[in-house]
Amino acid sequence: MSLKGTPPPNHPSEPQWWDGPTESHRAWKRDGCPGSYWDASTWYDLAMATNHEEARTLGEDQRDLAELLDTDGRAAIAKARELEKLSDDDQFQAFRAGILIDAGAAARDQKAIAEGIATYDRLLGRDANVAEWRYCMANGHIALAELERSADRAQVDWLVETLPGRQLARRDFWLVGRDEKAARELRGRALVNLGNSLSHGGRWIEALDCYA
């Protein structure tokens, strides 16, 4: 399924029920995982690959999930799990994984975040070149590490115990940041997140290199 190429405005086969992303979708793309919701061209590809009714059903589920993420993280997690078998389409599964990570972070649900990471890992096993998936998976590892923080826990203990996950995140942020085929904005965000991770680990000079 292609993520590029918007259909001609009056294409006879264009699904007419798509009216563009809601404000909820726009906010989530801005603050959550990029590429985790489908744009108009992706809806068009899906409709042409399956049928309009199936695409409409997936679209309604996706819209419901995005709205739940804005209002009720735990409900969003439950819905995302419920829809796991609805479609094996990679983009739908990536969207679902993004919900699990973002809602899991908001609800402090480590299991949900781990499920989202596992889904992205499985998708990357089929196509390792999708930078958006790798970026989102890295954010999942960071989210897991952040949930391990607590006021009564020494910083050095947190650094040691969360090191494996943070190392995986740094590796993936670095890979996205140097991926010349990835969108420039995504590469920039990956490098900023890499810098943040290094800074939180006390590696300030390396962090400055990333920010630069």
Name the DSSP letter for residue 6.
P
Ranking 20-29, 96-105, 122-131 by mean pLDDT, the lowest is 20-29
Q: What are 52-98's pLDDT values in tens digits?
A: 555 556 667 677 777 777 778 899 999 899 888 888 889 889 999 99
What is the per-residue DSSP string for 78-127? HHHHHTTTT---HHHHHHHHHHHHHHHHHHT-HHHHHHHHHHHHHHHHH-
Confidence of residue 33 (pLDDT cuts 50, 70, 90): low
Q: Which residues make Cβ contacts (< 8 Å) with residue 62, sequence separation at least 6?
A: 37, 38, 92, 95
CA distances from 102 to 7, 53, 64, 73, 99 (A): 30, 28, 15, 8, 5
Highest mean pLDDT out of 16-25, 52-61, 90-99, 166-175: 166-175
How far, in Å, CA of 189 to CA of 200, rounded?
Answer: 16
How far, in Å, CA of 136 to CA of 58, rounded?
Answer: 21
Query: What does pLDDT average to over the chain?
Result: 77
Share of the chain above pLDDT 90, in %: 47
Confidence of residue 189 (pLDDT cuts 50, 70, 90): very high
Q: Which amino acid is at 169?
A: A
Residue 73: per-residue pLDDT: 86
Q: What are 4-13's pLDDT values in tens digits?
A: 333 333 333 3
How far, in Å, CA of 91 to CA of 58, rounded?
Answer: 11
Closest CA to 43 of 16, 69, 23: 16
CA distances from 49 to 7, 55, 152 (A): 14, 9, 53
Highest mean pLDDT out of 4-8, 33-37, 111-115: 111-115
Residue 175: per-residue pLDDT: 96
Share of the chain above pLDDT 70, in %: 71
Three-point CA angle 188, 189, 190, nearest 5°: 90
